[in-house]
Structure 1
Amino acid sequence: MYNEFYGFSEKPFEITPDPKFLYFSPPHREALDGTIKSIKNPSPFTSITGEVGTGKTILIYSIFIRLDEKVKTTFIFHPSVTFTELIRYILQDSHQKRIGKSKEVLLRQLNEYLLKKLAMDETLAVFIDEAQNLPKEVMEELGKLEEKISGVSDRFQIIFVGQPEFEGKLSSPGLKQLSQRIGIKYQIRPLTKEESMEYIDYRLTIAGSRASEVFTPNAISMITDHAKGIPRVINILCDNAFLMGYGLSRKKVDSDIVSQVIKEMEGPVSHKLPSTEILTSVKRFHWISFRHHSPRWTISFLILSLLCLGGLVHLMHGTLQRNPAVSVVGSIESITGNTEISSTKRVPKVSDSLRKQDSRSTVLQPVSPSPASQSPKHEKPELAEIIVVESGQSISFLAQKYYRMTNLTLVDLILDFNPEINNAHLIQVGQKIRIPKITKEYLINEFPDHIWKIHAGTFRTPGFAKSYRNEPILKGKTIEILPRKVSPTDIWYRVMVGTFDNRDEASKAIDLLKGKGLLPLFGGIPKTERDPSDWG
């Protein structure tokens, strides 16, 4: 949104890990060089620890791009699994077919795979992120793994990456063997104040600017003091400061703007902003943008624009909705062009559940499918890859593998790109699946008469419409719920927001919703989220 205004070639403070933005503090440089060296001259285990937001994940990606083709890598970022599941995932990520089920069979298959790597002079490096979440039983098994793959262990290395709690866990009874086998340990400390200032300038230089051109000295000092040396906190503060500066048409961000940003972010930002759980989930969504709050000035500007537009409509038609209406449409044809739900089949309990949540919501009974002439123009995302389904894989598994996360919106995206799939829970071995890239254009739908709507997300229950109805930036917009039958027994619900007068207006609304973490396609979670299973 603000790149052109400030003359940036790209956003300099995205939270998503991009290796070219890695600032090499002494600990980062030591960990990168040392880990690459340990992989080339295998040590059974290596560990890299540091507080949340200190740059461990971006360090992993920087290591990836520096490894030669003789090193095959596997990245495990959700390690709360059993030992058997861990070995199975390693084999799946290494594209092995006919993967067994028992631990004994899986270990034998891993040994056979490593023998092939030995013959080809190749090495397998497994990176386990959030290693502090590994169950103790799994860590005990890993400590004994070298004995079970004897003869090929020098072709297999595990790099543990986690928070300082991982080191504390290693001192537990039963983990002495694993602790002793971690030959190399690195710790990523927070940046010093001087390093923090260099960090800001470094990222701005990559984006085609300098800190002195867009920040006042006091603003930089306030950011570095408040962030306490945590790069991710610096990113969040700078990103929101530019967004607010853009809304105020300020070419240079000063301390007043930074102070306002800090206040807007729901209180002081501790060095675990605002909680370990939130930042951990943000980091887990690889290459996905997340920002806690959009600044008040930008939101106010958009609301004012919408109110002015609403006033014009009021003068012309004599009607102006003060709150978004929630409607249930009985066909998904308005998005996909296919009739997924019979127009005579009532969706169970939709209207009742919505009325309980908000008595002001207008709920419509399912209606007949829209004529083809009224279907929207829906831009398909750019194709990323065509894969052939292997044994044990599902659409959710594929989403997790290619997007580094999974939810119903991502599964819905894959279903849209593969219309031949009529059961979201069932794909066949050998079936070809098209995996599209994630772009915000996928969320924008153009309808006849040149109006646009946003696909906010797909959920297991219709109640998530309330998350968007309560959003100030969507005041005056209509919230629609479109049921989609994804299997013989399951119905999911798309939440649509509209209408917008042009694509740019819809795109700006997406940017604001994305910035507030409300778009599942980009790793967001609606505010009323209570049970993650409800959204996949």
Structure 2
Amino acid sequence: MTVARNKASMAVSTQMPTAGVTRCGPAASETSASYVTRLLRQMRNEPMGRLLYLDHFGLRSAPFQLTPNPDFFFGAGDRGHLLYALLYSLRHGNGIVTLTGEVGTGKTMLARMLLSCAPKALDIAFIANPSLRRCEVVPVIADELGIDLAGAPAAQGLRLLQRALIDRYASGRRVVVLVDEAHAMGLGALEEIRLLSNLESSSHKLLQILLVGQEELHATLAQPAQRPLRERITQRLHLAPLAEEEVGSYLAFRMQRGGAATDPFDAGAVRLIAHGSLGLIRRVNILADKSLMAAFIDDAPRVLRRHVELALNDAAFQAIRAATRPSALGRLWRRYGLGRTGPV
């Protein structure tokens, strides 16, 4: 079956006999409730819909995938400036850095972007699985850095790691341990991270550590037992949701990166996506994807408010905490025009 025949079989539009043009939306004899039910059913059950809307909107690839892809990194707002701040802190800093944010703000994307654009002299051990036992921390870091511990006992493994770090430092290289989802890391593993932060030469730390996590990381670090770790934190960065006025630019940017020649999102649709997502990038992506699918099934050339209403109905987001605060340091980087150019 051709794409055209597939599309015709799914279209929910009807023909206006007097004008001879396609009419989008519910049929004349269809109630709003039955139209919503029918369109949601098609959105859920049509296995080719997600593929076919790419052609409908002139896309080469899906623009709103949830998997972090550095090619789709949106550097406006605080994000570009925070990336620069992270690179600068990890290259020149002398302590532990934390990056926190609400669920779905794009922390992992920022971490992936950090990996992709880090200077060649920066070696990064990326720990994506925080559920490590304390005894596993050193072997995992060594493995990420390509350091062979040869099954050495814990004490000897730590000495081998330290020796390798000293050699790298002497050759001009810096080593960073990046822990994603750090709010889920056990207290024992965090204590091991703290001890690793003590590894140093006569003048500099041998390891820079970046802890990336949800807001719960603050509560974990506030515990009395974590005071030694907390005292070693030199930078506390925060990733805020997109501002309402940034959502439209984000949607247009992602569509352009996906190959679209024009931005199909109507102004009313953008406002509703911004309101319904609370600026959380994951929710923006979900709503944009569902809205594009609804517009495709509706055979509409643009994404309208009613398509976003269907997407919101289908997504059924749960309530979250009150809006998180913006990043003060991000605003500072922006004020002085940093984050776009310049060496790190």
TM (norm. structure 1) is: 0.48
Query: 1:228-243, aligned counterparts within 5 Å?
Result: 228-243=278-293
| Residue in structure 2 matching 1:160, options 211, 217, 221 | 211
1:413-469 per-residue CA deviation (whole Å, 9 max, x = no partner) reads xxxxxxxxxxxxxxxxxxxxxxxxxxxxxxxxxxxxxxxxxxxxxxxxxxxxxxxxx
- Which one-letter code corresponds to 1:255 in the other structure? R
Secondary structure in structure 1 of the residue aligned to 2:292: helix
Preserved CA contact (<8 Å) 1:262 1:269: no
Preserved CA contact (<8 Å) 1:130 1:161: yes
Give the Cα separation in 1 of the matches to 2:317 and 2:85.
Answer: 36
Q: 1:15, CA displacement in angstroms? A: 1.1
Q: 2:225: which partner in 1?
A: 174
Quick one: structure 1 residues 67 and 148, their matched pair in 2 at CA, closer, same or farther if it must change by over 3 Å?
closer
Give the Cα separation in 2 of the matches to 1:140 and 1:147.
Answer: 11
Q: 1:249, CA displacement in angstroms? A: 2.2
Flag structure 2 segments of 5+ consecutive residues without an equivalent.
Answer: 1-50, 322-344
Q: 1:101, CA displacement in angstroms? A: 4.7
Give the Cα separation in 2 of the matches to 1:4 and 1:43.
Answer: 50
Q: 1:21: which partner in 2?
A: 72
1:1-51 per-residue CA deviation (whole Å, 9 max, x = no partner) reads 121211123221111111232222443223211111122213221111001
Q: 1:103: which partner in 2?
A: 154
Preserved CA contact (<8 Å) 1:83 1:141: yes
| Residue in structure 2 matching 1:247, options 287, 293, 297 | 297
Quick one: structure 1 residues 148 and 73, their matched pair in 2 at CA, closer, same or farther if it must change by over 3 Å?
closer
Taking CA–CA contacts closer than 8 Å with sequence separation of 6 or more, which of the two structures ends up with the larger relative contact order? 2
| Residue in structure 2 matching 1:120, options 162, 171, 178 | 171
Q: 1:269, CA displacement in angstroms? A: 4.9
Q: 2:254: which partner in 1?
A: 203
Question: Does the alignment pair 1:216 with 2:260?
Answer: no
Give the Cα separation in 2 of the matches to 1:26 and 1:242.
Answer: 24
Secondary structure in structure 1 of the residue aligned to 2:66: coil
Question: Does the alignment pair 1:66 with 2:117?
Answer: yes
1:103-160 per-residue CA deviation (whole Å, 9 max, x = no partner) reads 2122112101102212321111111000111111222332233335555862311110
Give the Cα separation in 2 of the matches to 1:271 and 1:248.
Answer: 31
Q: 2:85: which partner in 1?
A: 34
Quick one: structure 1 residues 76 and 222, their matched pair in 2 at CA, closer, same or farther if it must change by over 3 Å?
same
Preserved CA contact (<8 Å) 2:58 2:261: no
Q: 1:227: which partner in 2?
A: 277
Secondary structure in structure 2 of the residue aligned to 1:126: strand
Quick one: structure 1 residues 122 and 41, their matched pair in 2 at CA, closer, same or farther if it must change by over 3 Å?
same
| Residue in structure 1 matching 2:306, options 252, 256, 278 | 256
Quick one: structure 1 residues 8 and 270, their matched pair in 2 at CA, closer, same or farther if it must change by over 3 Å?
farther
Q: 2:29: which partner in 1?
A: none
- Which one-letter code corresponds to 2:167 in the other structure? K
- Which one-letter code corresponds to 1:236 in the other structure? I
Query: 1:337-416, aligned counterparts within 5 Å?
Result: none
Quick one: structure 1 residues 173 and 269, their matched pair in 2 at CA, closer, same or farther if it must change by over 3 Å?
closer
- Which one-letter code corresponds to 1:128 in the other structure? V
Quick one: structure 1 residues 169 and 210, their matched pair in 2 at CA, closer, same or farther if it must change by over 3 Å?
farther
* Identical pairs, percent: 26
Preserved CA contact (<8 Å) 2:241 2:280: yes
Quick one: structure 1 residues 271 and 16, their matched pair in 2 at CA, closer, same or farther if it must change by over 3 Å?
farther
1:242-271 per-residue CA deviation (whole Å, 9 max, x = no partner) reads 122223322212122221222223x34545
Query: 1:226-305, aligned counterparts within 5 Å?
Result: 226-265=276-315, 267-270=316-319
Question: Does the alignment pair 1:190 with 2:241?
Answer: yes
Quick one: structure 1 residues 235 and 242, their matched pair in 2 at CA, closer, same or farther if it must change by over 3 Å?
same
Give the Cα separation in 2 of the matches to 1:125 and 1:152.
Answer: 17
| Residue in structure 2 matching 1:85, options 110, 124, 136 | 136
Cα RMSD between the aligned structures? 2.1
Preserved CA contact (<8 Å) 2:137 2:192: no
Give the Cα separation in 2 of the matches to 1:159 and 1:250.
Answer: 45
Give the Cα separation in 1 of the matches to 2:199 and 2:159.
Answer: 9
Give the Cα separation in 1 of the matches to 2:245 and 2:256.
Answer: 17
Paired residue total: 270
Secondary structure in structure 1 of the residue aligned to 2:108: helix
Give the Cα separation in 2 of the matches to 1:6 and 1:146.
Answer: 50
Secondary structure in structure 1 of the residue aligned to 2:197: helix
Give the Cα separation in 1 of the matches to 2:119 and 2:227.
Answer: 33
Q: 2:196: which partner in 1?
A: 145
Preserved CA contact (<8 Å) 2:247 2:270: no
Give the Cα separation in 2 of the matches to 1:85 and 1:153.
Answer: 25
Quick one: structure 1 residues 140 and 14, their matched pair in 2 at CA, closer, same or farther if it must change by over 3 Å?
same
Q: 1:236, CA displacement in angstroms? A: 0.7
Give the Cα separation in 1 of the matches to 2:275 and 2:57.
Answer: 24
Quick one: structure 1 residues 152 and 122, their matched pair in 2 at CA, closer, same or farther if it must change by over 3 Å?
farther
Give the Cα separation in 2 of the matches to 1:170 and 1:268.
Answer: 29
Q: 1:190, CA displacement in angstroms? A: 1.1
Quick one: structure 1 residues 26 and 219, their matched pair in 2 at CA, closer, same or farther if it must change by over 3 Å?
closer
Give the Cα separation in 1 of the matches to 2:203 and 2:191.
Answer: 20
Preserved CA contact (<8 Å) 2:149 2:157: no
Deviates more, 1:220-229 or 1:242-251: 242-251
